[in-house]
Amino acid sequence: MTEPNQNKQILNIDELRHIAELSRVAFTEEELALLSSQLNDILNSIGELAEADTSNVEATRHISDVSNIYREDVPAESLSREQVLDNAPLSQEGYVRVRGVFDEEN
């Protein structure tokens, strides 16, 4: 493995400014300088991980021995509309009524 280069600049301030503009996020010049330094540190760390020799490492999906427990998919009787509406906190004209996402009432 080669010697890590912690000072390599991967993302310059102009690129970061452009990304911020595309994202509609406003930063001061001081914030851009700090963010650029921090992001470059993160990207350099990721670069170090990419250089690691993983040829003898077995691929894993989980860090522990986890397995899914499946059950047979068996069709069953559904609830009737009346049963569903009886369990709904609010209903209107045969449908479940829910509070609007942007309503200010609880």
List CB contacts of 16: < 8 A, sequence separation 6 or more: 32, 35, 36, 39
What is the average per-residue pLDDT within 64-82? Answer: 87
37 lies in a domain?
A: yes
Residue 67, pLDDT score: 77
42 lies in a domain?
A: yes
Beta-ladder partners of 92: 95
Q: What is the band of 102 on the pLDDT scale with cuts at 50, 70, 90?
A: confident
CA atoms within 13 A on the CB side of 87: 5
> Would you give the DSSP letter of residue 88?
S
What is the domain extent for residue 17? Answer: 13-51
- The count of domains in the chain is 1
Q: Could you tell me the pTM of the whole model?
A: 0.47
Give the Å distances, CA to CA, from 2 to 5, 13, 42, 46, 52: 9, 27, 18, 14, 10
Detail the DSSP E strand segments found in 42-101: 91-92, 95-96
Q: What is the pLDDT of residue 2?
A: 47
Residue 38 lies in a domain: yes
Does 28 fall in a domain?
A: yes
Which pLDDT belongs to residue 75? 93
pLDDT average, residue stretch 28-38: 93
| Domain assignment of residue 103, yes or no | no
Residue 97 lies in a domain: no
